[in-house]
Amino acid sequence: MAEKNPYEAILTASGAARKRVTQEVYDDVYRKRAAADSGKLPSKTRRKKIAVLCDAIGRGHKSILELGCGNGDLTWALVDCAEKIVGVDVSHQALADAKRRESLWHLSKQQAARVEFKPMSAVQLSFADRTFDCALSTSMVEHLHPEDLLSHFREVKRVLRPGGKYLVWCPNRLGHHKDRMNHFSMLSYAEWIEKMTQAGFHGFVSTLANGRPLVDARYKVSLENLLSSLGIKILWSHLGVRNVFLLAGTENETLASR
């Protein structure tokens, strides 16, 4: 008997109903995760990735937005990068888990006060224009309905201040990942850049491999094209192209030199 896909309801929901359906599905997902939550900090691999993300975003910002924050491990890790960090997720259960996990990070009251969680769809952001300096999402955009991708990127650009930047981390469609039921929008470096450019983002940079320095993202596009044409699988992770790391600006400028 074929395994029932609990995420199919999202894919088949109409645009008007998609937010409600998505919330219901992911509330159920996070309720099940909460039952198995060991109450520990993220894995060593996840903490290493978080450190790379925080380094790329940098410090000294007024406000940072994390989209699809899940259990909040990245949100809490960003406390020293900005005066205010807001984590949003469509799942109310995910946000409850994120708040509950504050104690794991051993933050001061001043640090913890910088963090706020809000229930919100990444496709319809209820923030005023030009609210944030930076936005981030990790393992989120591939879960969006294909029809919602452009709306999502346009919303993120709208709430960023001039000169703001959006950091996206997600699986690469070409990176030999196994199919997952809730990966509705798997794209390559080239395809994500094209989609984000349509929404008005510019100046794309990425990591040289899996960390600094940041370089023009066309380097990663060339790598994924080369490795695909040669049929080489083993080098994708080592060269930092198995997953997509894109830092994009809201102005037509290169971010690598920042």
- pLDDT band at residue 5, thresholds of 50, 70 and 90? confident
pLDDT number for residue 2: 52
- For residue 201, the surrounding DSSP H or E stretch is none
Q: Residue 46's domain spans which residues?
A: 8-249
Q: In whole angstroms, what is the distance from residue 143 CA to residue 187 CA?
A: 11
What are the tens digits of pLDDT across the range 111-129? 999 999 999 999 999 999 9
pLDDT number for residue 252: 55
CATH assignment at residue 222: 3.40.50.150
**Cβ(27)–Cβ(39) under 8 Å?**
no
What are the tens digits of pLDDT across the range 135-172? 999 999 999 999 999 999 999 999 999 999 999 999 99
- pLDDT band at residue 74, thresholds of 50, 70 and 90? very high
State the DSSP code for 143. Answer: G
pLDDT number for residue 254: 47
Q: With pLDDT > 70 as the criterion, what percentage of the chain qualifies?
A: 95
Count CB neighbours of 113 within 10 A. 11
pLDDT number for residue 258: 44
pLDDT number for residue 24: 95
Alpha-carbon distances, residue 103 vs 52, 76, 97, 108, 226 (angstroms): 23, 10, 11, 10, 46
Comparing CA positions, the residue from 51, 47, 56, 42 lying closest to residue 167 is: 56
Note whether residue 257 is domain-resident: no
Note whether residue 258 is domain-resident: no
Note whether residue 254 is domain-resident: no
b/e map 209-227, b = 16+ CB within 10 Å = ebeeebeebebbbebbeeb
pLDDT number for residue 1: 47
Note whether residue 231 is domain-resident: yes
If you average pLDDT over every residue of the chain, what do you get? 93
What are the tens digits of pLDDT across the range 81-96? 999 999 999 999 999 9
Note whether residue 255 is domain-resident: no
Q: In whole angstroms, what is the distance from residue 75 CA to residue 71 CA?
A: 9
Note whether residue 174 is domain-resident: yes
Note whether residue 3 is domain-resident: no
Q: In whole angstroms, what is the distance from residue 89 CA to residue 70 CA?
A: 6
The sign of the dihedral angle between the CA atoms of 160, 42, 89, 177 is positive
Residues ≥6 apart with Cβ < 8 Å to 117: 69, 72, 75, 86, 87, 88, 89, 95, 98, 99
Note whether residue 237 is domain-resident: yes
What are the tens digits of pLDDT across the range 183-231? 999 999 999 999 999 999 999 999 999 888 999 999 999 999 999 999 9
Total number of domains in the chain:
1
